Amino acid sequence: VITSDLGDESALSPTERSTVRRHPDRAQADRRALDAVLDSGLLAHVGFVDESGQPFVIPVAYARDGDRLLVHGSTGSRLLRHLATGAPACVTVTHIDGVVVARSAFNSSMNYRSALVFGSFRRLEGDDAAAAVDVITDHLIPGRVSEVRANTKKELAATMVLALDLSEASVKVRAGGPSDEPEDLEAPVWAGVVPTRLTASTAEPGDSRAALLPIPESVRTLIAKLS
Amino acid sequence: VITSDLGDESALSPTERSTVRRHPDRAQADRRALDAVLDSGLLAHVGFVDESGQPFVIPVAYARDGDRLLVHGSTGSRLLRHLATGAPACVTVTHIDGVVVARSAFNSSMNYRSALVFGSFRRLEGDDAAAAVDVITDHLIPGRVSEVRANTKKELAATMVLALDLSEASVKVRAGGPSDEPEDLEAPVWAGVVPTRLTASTAEPGDSRAALLPIPESVRTLIAKLS
């Protein structure tokens, strides 16, 4: 039931853990679909398991860098230190695209696009880590790296950067209107979709110095992306 | 460092797993803060661990119902069947409130509000389950339950409803502008915040029958909430 419109080399691996079981019709199996979900998100939810078997789900900034997903943070972060050991992880990025209002409560739903990436992170070092930090910054604020000073050695030393291969993932999408029961169609009840999206419309200067400066290109690009 | 502006009875339990370690200044410890994050969200990310120790992070609709968090879905759902066994879970709701643009890449950040709830779900049955389904529907589309027919016995039989007590949770909030290094303040570089939010502005009828009907109160309330 899982379909791919690209060749085998770009298909996502259909392993046990990455196989979509509920609504397999909503599964997408190609790298283009995965990249689209990852590239348009700002925040991922990273899942890991502690020593006692307790799962944790933590929101993090991230970026896709070719065939890998990057996260970063303080070298003191418990999350990053745990992930750096190669512990099994699941990274989920979800876009809420709409509320689906059906003629029955039962058929009400949400439109969304979600990507789950499975695997183990590895720590990046040296130039690879420094370049990865820039990729994450430019993912969050497109082009910002060229507008600000380079990260210092001290800042880089305080930053842990981790990468996860995009070799095992699943993408699930629900789009379109409600699926009503045939017997509900006659009822004089409105049904449809309320599209939702994460938006931005303004840039607020942080202080009086910034208020005197023009809004930089990176920030204008970010706002355009979220308009 | 964790502060509460309410009495002890409303404080969140500061257990090992719910203690905020990174940026404890961003931790909030009262039920009002937790309820505010949960009540204004549409989607949660549920974390669980399979038999092999692999974590999964799955997006789900949810609702807060007093002192418990509700999720529901098909009785055939692997996620719900696993959670119904009482397996340890972590439910995270995150709002992306803005992109923080600092004068250095290093100090760039995101504004957010996130809630993590820890514990084990239990399955609801009978009238409790039926009422809980209505709470979830009205959380997603405020007031919708009174506009549509009741769920049928068959629909309820096909639905599994689970509840998680809000007894162990943490709330973390980052708000405000960038925290620049003193030495970066002199640079002619803009800094500030790009506020973000999940928005909705229109309701799209699902078919020609719906197009002839007025937008219902529930949908207008939803759009107003997301405007």
Q: What is the pLDDT of residues B40-97, one digit of tens each?
A: 999 999 999 999 999 999 999 999 999 999 999 999 999 999 999 999 999 999 999 9
CB proximity under 8 Å: B 83-112 to A: 88-92, 94, 96, 98-99, 101-106, 108, 110, 112
At A97-114, the pLDDT tens digits run: 999 999 999 999 999 999
For residue B108, which of A220, A136, A81 has the smallest C-alpha distance? A136
B138/chain A closest Cα distance in angstroms: 9
A82/chain B closest Cα distance in angstroms: 13
Residues of chain B scoring pLDDT < 70: 1-14, 27-29
Does the CB of A134 have a partner CB in chain B at under 8 Å? yes
pLDDT at B102: 98
Following DSSP, what letter does each residue of B62-89 receive, concatenated? -EEETTEEEEEEETT-HHHHHHHTT-EE
Give CA separation, A162 vs A52, A85, A145, B38, B149, in Å.
Answer: 23, 10, 19, 30, 50
Give CA separation, B178 vs A95, A161, B197, in Å.
Answer: 26, 22, 18
pLDDT at B20: 72
At A122-168, the pLDDT tens digits run: 999 999 999 999 999 999 999 999 999 999 999 999 999 999 999 99
CB atoms within 10 A of CB B89: 24
pLDDT at A220: 98
Task: Tell me what the mean pLDDT of segment A161-188 comes to.
Answer: 96
pLDDT at B67: 96
Structure tokens at A202: 């303004």
At A2-52, the pLDDT tens digits run: 222 223 334 566 677 777 777 777 766 689 999 999 999 999 999 999 999
pLDDT at B106: 97
pLDDT at B12: 67
Cβ–Cβ under 8 Å, residues A92 and B48: no
Does the CB of A23 have a partner CB in chain B at under 8 Å? no
pLDDT at A29: 66
pLDDT at A12: 67
**Element spanning A126, H or E:** helix A126-140
Q: Which residues touch A182 (CB under 8 Å, ≥6 apart)? A: none
Structure tokens at B115: 């809630």
Cβ–Cβ under 8 Å, residues B166 and B34: yes
